[in-house]
Structure 1
């Protein structure tokens, strides 16, 4: 039996992660007893983040300084590689999409926001070089459901959460709409840059059609997607490849770290908001005090001006955290859940292959019947999952390094800017106080 090149290999251009045993020649070996691996995550371990690759744990603890140096060199090397890959991808891109210009629509039935989706392309699959359509959030949700349905072996980028807590966030506020627009733009750009997803016909319809015929079957597909998400939880694999074990451990640890950072950042944001309220009141007290103290008017007004400047700087810092820092964290929390779902479906595919192979081997031993074609199809499906998941994993790691590098540099710049503004304001007050002191001494001598 010859196994042809799987679709996943052709689409992603990657080699299979593992060599899958041929059903005829190595069936007994593949079914030999091995450690059962649960698909459901478990354990209380807190492994180090290693990009989902296997790590040799035998390194001595005394080599921490050397490890730090090697880690730094590795980061620099990865950054250069990511920059080169990003440059190469922009040079060969032929599909550019942008989401902007949010507009509020009010009708008797509902109120909603639409966004302008602009497309420029040179692909022959498109009839025109440019398109401009308006889409609402549920249109983006439809596209993602269709991509999950038709590309089950690929990692589909996440969308921002649809629902918000009533009374906590106004979904029609300018800040919320702006944050959602940025997230939708990033989602669509990730899909358009993907070497497989960007050729999906549903993406073509989303970018070009004036009206999407998407209502029929959407609820059913959503329910099916949710059921598939949990279907693999009861399978026990005979020998899950170590590469995918490393991926699962990395995702568990990564999501845990992100969750902790998100909770702390939310608490810092609340404390900054409370501090900002007190600081504004603090400035107003000095301003009112200055009106009743002629001798201290300039120093008191100076203090009020310094505190007001610090208020503005802190407001900018908090706005950056709420609009730029936290959304990236939430996006990657959703990304890890999406990656875990793809990993579960890959495990389900392996479990299906192992089950059918075991049944076929038993029948072959009993009556010498040929290996059924369904076993070959299951093997091809598993190889597609392996290749596509490997390619998307590497692409996801590259995007993650780029995104967090920009995020952390931006956070550092914003904090530096905040403290520089505060320092400049208080240094100017010192000058005012020194001038006042000189004036007082002059008046005393006269």
Structure 2
């Protein structure tokens, strides 16, 4: 399945036009073109959570707070939103279970999604009935060790990413403040050169050099803002989504434990309760299997994404310092004493 996403940069930046090309037989047509708003993505994610409670649902980007951009109609906001929503869809498309969810099918193919929203589940098959989780008053005594380890890892992981995110944003802010100073600093050498005939050429060279360093720093800051921060934010939200699935698993296990105790205490209910217990046990096993599979898939994606992210970060910093080095080296001949001609 291949998805091509285009975000319309018009008066309504939240409206999205999609072209979908599907080689799979579950779709009636090989190509679809539909329009979706952010609230439609939110509807899809909520439906996936309802119908696939045992699976990790990819997070949506924040609706308004994207890399500190306030103007929802700016080009950088539109492009950041487009990339984030495109990644959200690709995460679902690559999932062996979510990609076949009927709500996802409707989201991709229905011309009028509002009709499905109003009628709720009436037009859709009620998926996930066998794995509905309980949010009632059951309390888990203790998580199994492997899931306790997952919970501890997620807490540490989100804490580390949150710290990196805050520091990275401070660095970007300081870079932008430094950039403002550089843009004022460089032209001073140029205006000074008009007063210094003997130093005119080297002063103009320094001014041009600082201008080149400004351009390099601006590119570095944009790369951090456009490429580095969004990945951090996605995985911070991803870890929260995984924690929510883990809590749902705990609720199902707590229900199972409570029903086991009921069997032991109420002998008169033995003919009826065991069937209920077996259903709870099936839900626990389903949660455990799906959660572990999704965690492994998530870890693989995370390793790949962060290797690519850190490699890009290294390359961008190398390019920045090489550009600055080249700029400063270019003016050294202008600053050196020239032999006097006789």
Query: What's the TM-score once normalised by structure 2's chain length?
Result: 0.91
Alignment partners' CA distance in 2, 1:149 and 1:345: 12
Matches within 5 A, 1:44-59: none
* 1:274 corresponds to which of 177, 189, 192: 177
Partner SS, residue 113 of structure 1:
coil
Alignment partners' CA distance in 2, 1:242 and 1:390: 13
1:330 is aligned to 233
Alignment partners' CA distance in 1, 2:325 and 2:65: 38
Alignment partners' CA distance in 1, 2:321 and 2:145: 47
2:21 is aligned to 120
* Native 8 Å contact 1:98 1:189 kept in 2: no
* Native 8 Å contact 2:263 2:270 kept in 1: no
Point out 4+ residue stretches in structure 1 off by more than 3 angstroms: 214-218, 228-232, 366-372
Structure 1 405/347 Cα, relative in aligned 2: closer, same or farther at 3 Å? same
1:69 is aligned to none
2:313 is aligned to 411
1:363 is aligned to 266
Matched residue pairs, number? 329
Matches within 5 A, 1:7-406: 95-105=1-11, 111-164=12-65, 169-213=70-114, 214-216=116-118, 231=135, 236-364=139-267, 369=271, 371-406=273-308
Deviations 1:339-392 (Å, cap 9, x if unpaired)?
00000000000001111111022112x675454321111111111100100100
Query: What's the TM-score once normalised by structure 1's chain length?
Result: 0.70
Structure 2 stretches of 5 or more lacking a match? 121-131
Alignment partners' CA distance in 2, 1:204 and 1:316: 40
Alignment partners' CA distance in 1, 2:300 and 2:85: 20
Partner SS, residue 118 of structure 2:
coil
**Superposition CA RMSD, Å:** 2.1
Partner SS, residue 309 of structure 1:
helix
Alignment partners' CA distance in 2, 1:368 and 1:150: 31
* Native 8 Å contact 2:134 2:251 kept in 1: no
Partner SS, residue 132 of structure 1:
strand
Q: Deviation at 1:134?
A: 2.0
Alignment partners' CA distance in 2, 1:254 and 1:333: 8
Q: Deviation at 1:101?
A: 3.8
Q: Deviation at 1:182?
A: 0.4
2:124 is aligned to none
Q: Deviation at 1:403?
A: 0.5
Higher RCO (Cα < 8 Å, 6 or more apart)? 1
* Native 8 Å contact 2:54 2:290 kept in 1: yes
Alignment partners' CA distance in 1, 2:13 and 2:165: 29
Structure 1 229/339 Cα, relative in aligned 2: closer, same or farther at 3 Å? farther
Alignment partners' CA distance in 1, 2:271 and 2:168: 62
Alignment partners' CA distance in 2, 1:160 and 1:182: 10
Deviations 1:243-297 (Å, cap 9, x if unpaired)?
0000000000000000100010011011001000000100011111112222111
Structure 1 368/413 Cα, relative in aligned 2: closer, same or farther at 3 Å? closer
Structure 1 stretches of 5 or more lacking a match? 1-94, 106-110, 219-227
* Native 8 Å contact 2:134 2:252 kept in 1: no
Structure 1 285/121 Cα, relative in aligned 2: closer, same or farther at 3 Å? same
Partner SS, residue 29 of structure 2:
coil
Structure 1 229/340 Cα, relative in aligned 2: closer, same or farther at 3 Å? farther
2:340 is aligned to 442
Alignment partners' CA distance in 2, 1:334 and 1:230: 23
Alignment partners' CA distance in 2, 1:208 and 1:370: 44
Alignment partners' CA distance in 1, 2:73 and 2:194: 42
Structure 1 339/430 Cα, relative in aligned 2: closer, same or farther at 3 Å? same
